Structure 1
Amino acid sequence: MDVRQLRYFCTIVEEKQITKAAKVLHIAQPPLSHQLKLLEEELQAPLIIRDARKWEVTEAGKRLYQRAKQILQLMEDAQKEVTEIEQGIQGTLSIGTSSICMSYLTDHLSSFHNTFPNVYIKLLYGDTYALEEMLQQNLIDIALLLLPVEQENYHILSLHEDPFVVVIPRQWEERFPESTISLRQVAEQDLLLGRRTSGNGMYENIIQLFKAQQLEPRIILDSPDISGLLTLVATGMGVTIIPQSEVHQVYQDNYKILPISEPFLKTRPALVWLKDKYIPKAVNALITAFQTSL
């Protein structure tokens, strides 16, 4: 059994078909089938049941897949670690974030690049659920997302709480001369809300707070794109409720920001990365930058 066979086996399991796995691996199907057969003979155990009626990974196959993924990850981590000893902080830093947390990254990425110009930054977007999936699949090194998450799987660096505010068009300022706004007043306006593409999130929590006060908000639009919501608010289409950090100072001439008079939601963004995995120097440098700003 060698590393190549383990990589082949993992790909077969993930693609759920030898033909598809062969295409991913850029090899012909017969040699791949032969390698699987050799692996089963060496281990003296069937790993995948495959016939015309059934394709299923056996219990032995599931255990091998789990261990093989760990071995392959350890090899990848070892290669990164040795390379960094020789070459210092460089390579690719893959960061996952949700649109609602993006403002926290913008405060750090420019200075990070100036300090580590040889690090290529790859930025991926998703909601909390999608970002956790990316972490588990090693598609990203670290995620900036909203808590809560399953803490047993991750190292977590909690950032400052971020209160929700109501953002109204600047041209509506005379309608709302006060320094705060009530939920009842918000419910009387056309409302644009952020909403994740899957699962429950802040959208559902906001609705529940309205219902708790026996209010029915007049929601006319929802979107996962916070910047898009702000653009629409600036046109006078309606108002939105978002974390205060998402209203960038440079654009505040287009809006008026009003705290909510009743007790309301606060977000808790956090940097999250996997336990039991080698942390590249670039990731550690980013974590340190966030820690020093707390």
Structure 2
Amino acid sequence: MDIRQLRYFCTIYEEKQITKAAKILHMAQPPLSHQLRQLEEELGVPLIIRDLKKWEVTEAGHRLYERAKKVLTFLEDTKKEITEIHNGMSGTLSIGTSSICMSYLTEHLNKFHKAYPNVYIKIYHGDTNYLEGLLQQKQIDVALLLLPVEESNYSIYPLTEDPFVVLAPRQWEHNFPEEFISLKDVTQYDLLLTKRTSGVGIYETILNQFHKAHLEPKVVLDSPDISTILTLVATGMGITIIPQSQVHQIYRDQFKVLQLDEPAFSTRPVLIWLTDHYQSSAAKKLIEYFK
């Protein structure tokens, strides 16, 4: 059994078909089938039951895949580490961030780039569910997102608490002579909220605050993209509740910003990364900027 065979087997396992796996590996199907048979013969057990009517990974096949992925990941991480020792701080740093957490990233990224100009930076946008998927697939090094998260294999660094505020269209300013608004008054207006594509997040946190006060808000729209919400609020479709950090200076002319009366509530962004995964020097340095 060698590394090449393990890589072949993992690709077959993931593609659930030898033909597709052969295309990805840029090789013909017969040699790939032969490699799988050789692996099974060496181990003395069938790994995948395959005939015209059935394709099923055996228990031994599932276990081999788990172990093989760990071996391949370890080798890839070792390769990266040795390359970094030789080349110094370079390569690619992949960062995931939700739209709501982007403001926390921008204040550090410019400083990081000036300090390490040879590091290429790749940014992925999405909600917490999407970013967790990228982390688990090891497509990104770190992620800035909002709790809660689904998995538990993370190192988590909490950032500053972010209070919620109400944004109303500037053309409705005459409706809000004060700088504060109660949850009860919010229920008088159509409400547009951000909502994750999956799991619990800001949407549920906000609704929970209303329900605690025995109130029912008039939610007329939800979207995972905060820029969509802000654009629609600016047109006069309704009001929204978002973390205060998202009220950038460029939006000030479009909205009336209102603080929430007691009970005020907030969210807490976090920086997370995989605990059991090799962190590049660039990723470690970025994490230090947040601490």
TM over 0.5, yes or no? yes
Deviations 1:256-277 (A, max 9, x none): 2112113243211111111122
Output the TM-score relative to the length of structure 2. Answer: 0.95
Which residue of the partner structure matches residue 239 of structure 2? 239
Which residue of the partner structure matches residue 60 of structure 1? 60
- Count residues with an aligned counterpart: 291
User: What is the CA–CA distance in structure 2 between the aligned matches of 1:271 and 1:211, rounded to whole Å?
Assistant: 30
Q: What amino acid maps onto 2:72 in structure 1?
A: L
Secondary structure (helix, strand or coil) at the match of 2:290 reads helix
- 2:237 equivalent to 1:257: no
Which residue of the partner structure matches residue 14 of structure 1? 14
- 2:212 equivalent to 1:195: no
Deviations 1:162-188 (A, max 9, x none): 111101122322211112101111111
RMSD, aligned α-carbons: 1.6
Going from structure 1 to structure 2, the CA distance change for 1:25 and 1:193 (only over 3 Å counts) comes to: same
Which residue of the partner structure matches residue 180 of structure 2? 180
Deviations 1:87-121 (A, max 9, x none): 11111111111122111112222222222111111
Which residue of the partner structure matches residue 87 of structure 1? 87
Given that 2:93 and 2:121 are in contact with CA atoms closer than 8 Å, whether structure 1 keeps it comes out as: yes
User: What is the CA–CA distance in structure 2 between the aligned matches of 1:12 and 1:110, rounded to whole Å?
Assistant: 42
User: Structure 1 residues 149-158 or 220-229, which shifts more?
Assistant: 149-158
Going from structure 1 to structure 2, the CA distance change for 1:173 and 1:278 (only over 3 Å counts) comes to: same
User: What is the CA–CA distance in structure 2 between the aligned matches of 1:151 and 1:36, rounded to whole Å?
Assistant: 33
Secondary structure (helix, strand or coil) at the match of 1:78 reads helix
Point out 4+ residue stretches in structure 1 off by more than 6 angstroms: none
Q: 5 Å matches for 1:28-43? A: 28-43=28-43
User: Structure 1 residues 223-232 or 148-157, which shifts more?
Assistant: 148-157
- 2:253 equivalent to 1:215: no
User: What is the CA–CA distance in structure 2 between the aligned matches of 1:43 and 1:65, rounded to whole Å?
Assistant: 13
Which residue of the partner structure matches residue 128 of structure 2? 128
Going from structure 1 to structure 2, the CA distance change for 1:21 and 1:226 (only over 3 Å counts) comes to: same
- 2:157 equivalent to 1:157: yes
User: What is the CA–CA distance in structure 2 between the aligned matches of 1:156 and 1:162, rounded to whole Å?
Assistant: 17
User: What is the CA–CA distance in structure 2 between the aligned matches of 1:147 and 1:216, rounded to whole Å?
Assistant: 24
1:53 is displaced (CA, Å) by 2.7
Which residue of the partner structure matches residue 77 of structure 1? 77
Q: 5 Å matches for 1:92-171? A: 92-149=92-149, 152-171=152-171
Output the TM-score relative to the length of structure 1. Answer: 0.94
Given that 2:195 and 2:223 are in contact with CA atoms closer than 8 Å, whether structure 1 keeps it comes out as: yes
User: What is the CA–CA distance in structure 1 between the aligned matches of 2:121 and 2:196, rounded to whole Å?
Assistant: 24
Going from structure 1 to structure 2, the CA distance change for 1:237 and 1:150 (only over 3 Å counts) comes to: closer
Q: What amino acid maps onto 1:33 in structure 2?
A: S
User: What is the CA–CA distance in structure 2 between the aligned matches of 1:125 and 1:9, rounded to whole Å?
Assistant: 32
1:29 is displaced (CA, Å) by 1.0
User: What is the CA–CA distance in structure 2 between the aligned matches of 1:264 and 1:56, rounded to whole Å?
Assistant: 54
Going from structure 1 to structure 2, the CA distance change for 1:195 and 1:149 (only over 3 Å counts) comes to: closer
Q: What amino acid maps onto 1:3 in structure 2?
A: I
User: What is the CA–CA distance in structure 1 between the aligned matches of 2:175 and 2:76, rounded to whole Å?
Assistant: 59
User: What is the CA–CA distance in structure 1 between the aligned matches of 2:22 and 2:262, rounded to whole Å?
Assistant: 59
Given that 2:191 and 2:217 are in contact with CA atoms closer than 8 Å, whether structure 1 keeps it comes out as: yes
User: What is the CA–CA distance in structure 1 between the aligned matches of 2:265 and 2:172, rounded to whole Å?
Assistant: 24
User: Structure 1 residues 41-50 or 150-159, which shifts more?
Assistant: 150-159
Given that 2:146 and 2:201 are in contact with CA atoms closer than 8 Å, whether structure 1 keeps it comes out as: no
Secondary structure (helix, strand or coil) at the match of 1:89 reads coil
Q: What amino acid maps onto 2:223 in structure 1?
A: S
